[in-house]
């Protein structure tokens, strides 16, 4: 079982967090195994981070959708000529282009050889999730191939949460989820609801297609946002073919479309690679009831004898096991054969230990069941509002203010790294940085060897700073501080020669 958990972490990392980065040299891939499959040098560090997140989730959710799996390391590795892969991909009836090249081959090898056991797990899960996806994609008249996106995004785990807070099967950030009308509050997170989140994803995909009119570019934009795809198109001289803009896309997105194509291949040709679909414990036939009163899943479990973990797997959107049906109705999904007994015993279910389950003192600790993952505000930090300048990118802003890009995304509900000029960003800076920014006044002025150390404040320029010190010119400040231009930014420290 430990082996299974570790392998699960690895596939979740490669598929959900997109840590497989295609560092291919132009025009050919290098021979090194690590470089051949696009693994970055900090893969193990990322794995450690996701391992920690995985164990947090496991402490939340003891009822895994998948039954125990033993890894068989004696399975032979199958090496096939490129012509076989090309013919097999061509035979897949797909509205989305599924080409073959050396980059895609690397991902096919990963799925069918390195991660074949976990591909078997996801094929097993697809028996439950694909019918849900297919019906909704058909409703929006979208290609059925988009059912493979949640494999890449979340490894078909509705409770999946990325390090930046993207949540659910389709990995929606908070802001994007709200934009597409998903309910997200203390009790409910519809990003984790397979049905609601798929409707939102379908609307998002349609919006992206209205921009690009190209399904492959839509897949890329789903991952990194339309802003990054637009930049890549511009840098490629206006070309709008994915492979023409490949090298201009963010590195993590370069592997996204190849991974999508490889997932299609692995699904359709898993038997040829001796990949066995793994059974799941969720009943494939289920039905939905609308609940109009406050209800705890434990009440249903106790009265009807349904394992609580099964109810959680069928209803992952309820973070505290509570259906908060006070002002509106909410859906409760049950095994098909439990719907009749629920109707027959409805009064008994609502009355069962009502005073226990809805007593605030005895309420379930949200940490135990929710897998929402947001960066906390560091203790002692100070809030700072930053306005994005021309030429800014998220990574350099983060470095400048002593935080991480992941924190900036989380604090500002950003989808990817896309920011725009004049956009306001909330940054929680350290006390030291707050002093440098002029938010907090230091107790003593700073003086070094006859120089005054000045901290640039918002709105300052070299010339307004110089005017504060008689006899000091802007050119002198530039020269003393070895500045390449007259541009300064809040929090930057400048040495100024004091003159009597």
In this structure, are 104 and 248 located in the same domain? yes
In this structure, are 237 and 351 located in the same domain? no
Determine the 3-state secondary structure of 333 from DSSP: strand
Task: Please report which confidence band the pLDDT of residue 203 belongs to, taking 50, 70 and 90 as the band edges.
Answer: very high
In this structure, are 267 and 305 located in the same domain? no
In this structure, are 73 and 208 located in the same domain? yes
In this structure, are 105 and 190 located in the same domain? yes
* Mean local confidence (pLDDT), 274-287: 84
The answer to whether residue 308 sits within a structural domain is yes
Please give the pLDDT value at position 9: 35
Spatial separation of the C-alpha atoms in residues 335 and 266, rounded to whole Å: 30
Using the 8-state DSSP alphabet, how is residue 235 labeled?
H
Percent of residues, the chain, with pLDDT higher than 70: 76
Cα-to-chain-centroid distance, residue 298: 30
Per-residue model confidence as pLDDT tens digits over 336-358: 999 999 999 999 999 887 656 67
In this structure, are 223 and 356 located in the same domain? no
Task: Please report which confidence band the pLDDT of residue 309 belongs to, taking 50, 70 and 90 as the band edges.
Answer: confident
- Residue scoring higher pLDDT (8 or 480): 480
Instruction: Find the CATH number of the domain harbouring 92.
Output: 1.10.530.10
Percent of residues, the chain, with pLDDT higher than 90: 39
Task: Please report which confidence band the pLDDT of residue 415 belongs to, taking 50, 70 and 90 as the band edges.
Answer: low
Please give the pLDDT value at position 164: 78
Lowest mean pLDDT among 60-64, 143-147, 464-468, 496-500: 60-64
End-of-domain residue from the set 273, 299, 321: 273
- Which CA distances in Å does 497 have to 7, 451, 469, 470? 60, 5, 9, 10
User: Could you count the other beta carbons within 10 Å of the beta carbon of residue 284?
Assistant: 10
Per-residue model confidence as pLDDT tens digits over 114-162: 888 888 988 999 999 999 999 999 999 999 999 999 998 888 889 888 8
Spatial separation of the C-alpha atoms in residues 401 and 429, rounded to whole Å: 7
Q: Say if residue 441 is exposed, middle or buried (CB neighbours under 10 Å; 0-12, 13-18, 19+).
A: exposed
- Asked whether residue 36 carries a pLDDT value surpassing 70, the answer given is no
In this structure, are 60 and 41 located in the same domain? yes
The answer to whether residue 375 sits within a structural domain is no
- Asked whether residue 68 carries a pLDDT value surpassing 50, the answer given is no
In this structure, are 134 and 55 located in the same domain? yes
The residues that bridge with 384 in the sheet, in sequence order, are 427
The answer to whether residue 148 sits within a structural domain is yes
Please give the pLDDT value at position 170: 95
User: What does 412-466 look like in DSSP terms, one character per residue?
Assistant: HT-STT---TT-EEEEEE-HHHHHHHTSS--SS--EETTEEEEE--TT--HHHHH
The answer to whether residue 340 sits within a structural domain is yes
- Asked whether residue 373 carries a pLDDT value surpassing 70, the answer given is no
Per-residue model confidence as pLDDT tens digits over 385-413: 899 988 888 888 988 888 888 788 778 87
Determine the 3-state secondary structure of 138 from DSSP: helix
Spatial separation of the C-alpha atoms in residues 326 and 9, rounded to whole Å: 38
The residues that bridge with 453 in the sheet, in sequence order, are 495
- Asked whether residue 22 carries a pLDDT value surpassing 70, the answer given is no
In this structure, are 355 and 259 located in the same domain? no
The answer to whether residue 377 sits within a structural domain is no
Task: Please report which confidence band the pLDDT of residue 441 belongs to, taking 50, 70 and 90 as the band edges.
Answer: low
Q: Do residues 72 and 117 touch, judged by C-beta distance below 8 A?
A: yes
Please give the pLDDT value at position 482: 87
Place of tokens 């990325």: 162
In this structure, are 84 and 228 located in the same domain? yes
Tell which residue, 54, 405, 399, has the closest CA to residue 252: 405
User: Could you tell me the two tokens for 246?
Assistant: 């490949």
- Asked whether residue 382 carries a pLDDT value surpassing 90, the answer given is no
Q: What is the mean pLDDT of the chain?
A: 77
The answer to whether residue 360 sits within a structural domain is yes
- Asked whether residue 431 carries a pLDDT value surpassing 80, the answer given is no
- Asked whether residue 19 carries a pLDDT value surpassing 50, the answer given is no
End-of-domain residue from the set 345, 368, 391: 368
Tell which residue, 38, 144, 54, 140, has the closest CA to residue 94: 144
The answer to whether residue 129 sits within a structural domain is yes
In this structure, are 331 and 430 located in the same domain? no
In this structure, are 153 and 221 located in the same domain? yes
Q: Do residues 465 and 454 touch, judged by C-beta distance below 8 A?
A: yes
- Asked whether residue 6 carries a pLDDT value surpassing 80, the answer given is no
**Strands of 285-423, DSSP E:** 286-291, 295-296, 322-323, 330-335, 382-387
The answer to whether residue 374 sits within a structural domain is no
Instruction: Find the CATH number of the domain harbouring 427.
Output: 3.10.350.10
Single pTM value for the model: 0.60
Range of the domain at 456: 447-497
End-of-domain residue from the set 417, 437, 457: 437
Please give the pLDDT value at position 47: 28
- Asked whether residue 424 carries a pLDDT value surpassing 70, the answer given is yes
In the chain, the number of structural domains is: 4
Please give the pLDDT value at position 294: 92
* Mean local confidence (pLDDT), 313-329: 90
Residues in CB range of 271: below 8 A, 6 or more apart = none
């Amino acid at each position: 079982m430990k082996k299974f958990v570790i392998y699960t972490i690895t596939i979740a990392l490669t598929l959900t967090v997109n840590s497989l980065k295609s560092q291919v040299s132009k025009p050919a891939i290098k021979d090194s195994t690590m470089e051949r499959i696009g693994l970055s040098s900090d893969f193990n560090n990322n794995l450690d981070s996701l391992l920690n997140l995985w164990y947090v989730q496991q402490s939340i959710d003891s009822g895994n959708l998948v039954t125990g799996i033993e890894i068989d390391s004696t399975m032979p590795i199958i090496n096939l000529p490129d012509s076989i892969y090309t013919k097999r991909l061509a035979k897949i009836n797909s509205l989305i282009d599924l080409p073959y090249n050396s980059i895609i081959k690397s991902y096919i090898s990963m799925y069918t050889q390195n991660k074949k056991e976990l591909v078997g797990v996801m094929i097993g899960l697809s028996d439950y999730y694909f019918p849900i996806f297919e019906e909704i994609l058909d409703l929006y008249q979208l290609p059925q191939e988009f059912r493979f996106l949640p494999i890449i995004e979340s490894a078909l785990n509705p409770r999946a949460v990325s390090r930046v807070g993207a949540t659910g099967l389709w990995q929606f950030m908070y802001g994007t989820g709200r934009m597409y009308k998903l309910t997200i509050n203390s009790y409910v997170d519809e990003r984790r609801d397979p049905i609601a989140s798929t409707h939102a994803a379908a609307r998002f995909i349609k919006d992206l297609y209205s921009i690009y009119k190209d399904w492959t570019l839509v897949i890329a934009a789903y991952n990194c946002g339309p802003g990054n795809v637009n930049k890549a198109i511009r840098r490629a001289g206006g070309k709008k073919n994915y492979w023409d803009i490949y090298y201009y896309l963010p590195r993590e997105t370069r592997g996204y479309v190849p991974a999508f194509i490889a997932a299609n291949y692995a699904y359709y040709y898993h038997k040829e690679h001796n990949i066995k679909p793994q059974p799941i414990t969720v009943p494939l036939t289920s039905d939905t009831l609308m609940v109009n009163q406050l209800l705890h899943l434990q009440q249903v479990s106790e009265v009807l004898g349904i394992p609580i973990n099964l109810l959680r797997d069928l209803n992952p959107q309820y973070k505290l096991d509570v259906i908060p049906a006070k002002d509106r109705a909410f859906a409760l999904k049950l095994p098909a054969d439990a719907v009749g007994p629920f109707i027959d015993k409805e009064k008994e279910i609502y009355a069962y230990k009502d005073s226990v389950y809805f007593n605030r003192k005895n309420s379930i600790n949200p940490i135990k069941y929710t897998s929402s993952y947001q960066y906390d505000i560091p203790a002692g930090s100070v809030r700072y509002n930053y306005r994005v300048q021309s030429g800014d990118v998220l990574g350099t802003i983060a470095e400048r203010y002593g935080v991480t890009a992941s924190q900036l995304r989380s604090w500002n509900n950003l989808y990817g790294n896309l920011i725009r000029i004049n956009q306001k960003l909330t940054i929680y800076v350290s006390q030291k940085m707050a002093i440098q920014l002029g938010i907090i006044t230091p107790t003593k002025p700073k003086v070094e060897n006859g120089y005054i150390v000045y901290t640039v404040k918002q709105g300052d320029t070299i010339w307004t700073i110089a005017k504060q010190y008689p006899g000091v010119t802007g050119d002198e400040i530039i020269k003393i501080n070895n500045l390449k231009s007259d541009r300064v930014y809040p929090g930057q420290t400048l040495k100024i020669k004091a003159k009597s």
